[in-house]
């Protein structure tokens, strides 16, 4: 659960008073809480822990990390974490 | 398994390794705290690139591995109660309790669900007002911001049917405990980059000074690790004991301050037992006064169950760094990821699992 996958913020919205965003992790899109990164903007890359964006990261490092994950077969593992969860999609009813 | 030599950064890795060989003059033992780092090291053969003088000792930074047996038994006791939806991160499901694990409880009819984020559990509580939704909140400082926010959100939404079984652990007290333990061989630490992305590096200088130990904040990619090791060896050879940041592209000195504020509001420090290690003072978080009503231990009368670990399992020694996984007689014999005796063989961040999946069956030098 400590494996943090970098993703790119695609859109930002509010749900139940909380700043949320749709974040793209190498093709898998997840609803992520952005409350801890008040200045993150659409297009920015961020490192996400268990559904929460914690730090910004520049695009080059994000790409390098994703590439390393892919090389190591870790991307599958990380994305499986993202996919496996149930309820799988929070998009329609964000907390 | 691919080895580092096959990657695009092989040249840089070899150069960093050569530089480490050039500067090292005597044996040093360096502990990587984080289980993610352990995995990357073993999977990529980072340790095999290092000169024989540099030994990497694998630390206790696997949240699943150090979650006490009692917590898992409490989780099981809650999960089987009627009307409960029990939510957990996926990697906790197969961790053996004293009699069974969450998967087998699910097989017996318990409603156990894997969630990716604690917010998923809050959502379930909102959707099922007639059920009690319990989230198993474990982890280091990395998962704490998420878990703290979930409690805050449940409080704000008045979700009386949501609660958490909290067993959070903290890195700095563990570093202190390792350094002060009898027979300790660790001379320097690679601090966990992602923990520091939340907490910053400001907690570490007093620790480095007090314990006279170099602490280098390090990422978990092969090149990050080699750079962290290089800086650590430089410090050790020069007799310095400072905090350095080899992961500055993610970690700042202050860390994520909004997250630290919410953590400070929702959690408070508590003495915590670490599986295989024992109680470390002020090494965990529990729910603070204002949020105790969300404490699952209070809501469900889960008595204190004492349980014996497998007599064969030596994961305590593995977690303290005094035994390499493949030196455990049960490793790969009675104990495999399919038939784990200890949590370190279950978790994707556990050292025993890392050795097993990378085919490290023979102890080094044998
Ligand atoms: S190999 Fe298995 S039995 Fe041995 S320490 Fe690791 S988890 Fe325990």
Stated pTM of the model: 0.86
Q: Report whether pLDDT(B11) > 80.
A: no
Q: How much is the ipTM here?
A: 0.84
Section B326-345 average pLDDT: 90
Q: Report whether pLDDT(B270) > 90.
A: yes
Distance CA B230, CA B10 (A): 16
pLDDT per residue as tens digits for the range B21-68 = 999 999 999 999 988 899 889 988 999 999 999 999 998 888 888 888
If you count DSSP H runs as helices and E runs as strands, how many of each does chain B have, helices first? 16, 11
pLDDT at B99 (0 to 100): 84
For chain A, give every domain's residue range.
6-83
Task: Report strand pairing: B84-88 vs B132-139.
Answer: parallel
Q: Report whether pLDDT(B314) > 50.
A: yes
CA dihedral over A39, A41, A47, A51, signed as positive or negative: positive
**β strands within A4-82, DSSP E:** 5-15, 18-25, 28-33, 45-49, 52-57
Nearest C-alpha to atom 1 of ligand 1 is from which residue? Answer: B331
The pair of structure tokens assigned to B176 is 């202190």
The 10 Å CB-count burial string (b at 16+, else e) for B42-53 is: bbbbbbebbeee
Scan residues 10-69 of A and list those with Cβ closer than 8 Å to B.
16-18, 30, 33, 35-38, 47, 49-52, 54-55, 57-58, 61, 64-65, 67-68
Distance CA B62, CA B99 (A): 22
Section B321-349 average pLDDT: 88
Fold of A6-83: SH3 type barrels. (2.30.30)
pLDDT at B91 (0 to 100): 83
The pair of structure tokens assigned to B126 is 């909102």
Q: Given CB atoms, is B213 within the 8 Å cutoff of chain A?
A: no
Contacts of the segment A34-37: beta carbons below 8 A, 24+ positions apart: A34/A9, A35/B149, A35/B258, A36/B145, A36/B149, A36/B256, A36/B258, A36/B259, A36/B262, A37/B256, A37/B258
Inter-chain CB proximity A33 and B149 less than 8 Å: yes
pLDDT at A77 (0 to 100): 58
| Chain A environment of B35 (Cβ under 8 Å) | 2
Q: Report whether pLDDT(A2) > 70.
A: no
Q: Is B335 in the pocket of ligand 1 (CB under 6 A)?
A: yes
CA-nearest of A53, A95, A50, A51 to B138 is A50
- Taken in order of first residue, the domains within chain B and their CATH numbers are 1-310 (3.40.50.11740), 315-357 (no CATH)
Three-state secondary structure call for residue B231: helix
Q: Report whether pLDDT(B119) > 60.
A: yes
pLDDT per residue as tens digits for the range B120-153 = 999 999 999 999 999 999 999 999 999 999 999 9
The pair of structure tokens assigned to B250 is 């993610």
The phi and psi torsions of B328 (rounded to 5 degrees) equal -75, 125
CA-nearest of B114, B107, B116 to B93 is B114
B278-287, strands of its sheet edge to edge: B111-114, B84-88, B132-139, B162-169, B278-287, B267-274
Residue among B123, B198, B222 whose CB faces A87 most closely: B123
Q: What is the DSSP letter of B273?
A: E
Inter-chain CB proximity B142 and A84 less than 8 Å: no
């Amino acid at each position: 659960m400590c494996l943090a996958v970098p993703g790119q913020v695609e859109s930002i919205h509010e749900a139940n008073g909380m700043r949320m965003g749709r974040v793209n992790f190498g093709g898998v899109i997840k609803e992520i809480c952005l409350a801890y990164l008040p200045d993150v903007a659409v297009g920015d890359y961020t490192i996400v822990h268990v559904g929460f964006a914690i730090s910004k990261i520049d695009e080059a490092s994000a790409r390098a990390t994703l590439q390393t994950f892919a090389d190591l077969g870790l991307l599958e593992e990380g994305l499986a974490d993202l996919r496996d969860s149930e309820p799988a999609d929070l998009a329609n009813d964000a907390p | 398994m691919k080895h580092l030599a096959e990657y695009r950064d092989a040249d840089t890795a070899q150069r960093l390794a050569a530089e480490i060989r050039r500067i090292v003059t005597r044996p040093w033992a360096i502990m990587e705290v984080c289980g993610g780092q352990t995995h990357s090291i073993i999977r990529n053969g980072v340790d095999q690139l290092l000169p024989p003088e540099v030994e990497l000792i694998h630390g206790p930074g696997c949240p699943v591995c150090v979650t006490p047996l009692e917590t898992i038994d409490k989780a099981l006791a809650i999960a089987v109660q009627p009307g409960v939806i029990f939510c957990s991160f996926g990697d906790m499901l197969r961790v053996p309790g004293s009699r069974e694990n969450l998967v087998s409880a699910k097989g017996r009819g318990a409603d156990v669900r894997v969630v990716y984020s604690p917010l998923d559990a809050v959502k379930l509580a909102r959707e099922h007002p007639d059920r009690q939704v319990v989230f198993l909140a474990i982890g280091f400082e990395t998962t704490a911001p998420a878990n703290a926010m979930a409690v805050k959100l449940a409080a704000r939404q008045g979700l009386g049917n949501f609660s958490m079984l909290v067993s959070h652990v903290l890195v700095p007290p563990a570093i202190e405990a390792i350094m002060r333990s009898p027979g300790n061989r660790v001379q320097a630490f690679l601090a966990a980059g992602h923990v520091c992305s939340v907490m910053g590096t400001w907690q570490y200088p007093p620790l480095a000074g007090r314990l006279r130990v170099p602490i280098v904040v390090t990422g978990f990619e092969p090149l990050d690790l080699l750079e962290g090791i290089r800086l650590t060896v430089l410090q050790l050879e020069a007799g310095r004991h400072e905090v350095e940041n080899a992961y500055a592209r993610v970690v700042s000195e202050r860390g994520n301050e909004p997250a630290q504020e919410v953590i400070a509001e929702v959690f408070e420090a508590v003495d915590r037992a670490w599986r295989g290690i024992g109680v470390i003072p002020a090494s965990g978080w529990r729910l603070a006064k204002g949020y105790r009503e969300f404490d699952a231990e209070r809501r469900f009368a889960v008595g204190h169950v004492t349980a014996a670990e497998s007599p064969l399992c030596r994961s305590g020694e593995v977690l303290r760094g005094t035994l390499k996984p493949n030196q455990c007689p049960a490793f790969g014999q009675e104990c495999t990821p399919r038939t784990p005796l200890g949590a370190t063989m279950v978790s994707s961040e556990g050292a025993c699992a890392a050795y097993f999946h990378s085919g490290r069956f023979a102890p080094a030098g044998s």
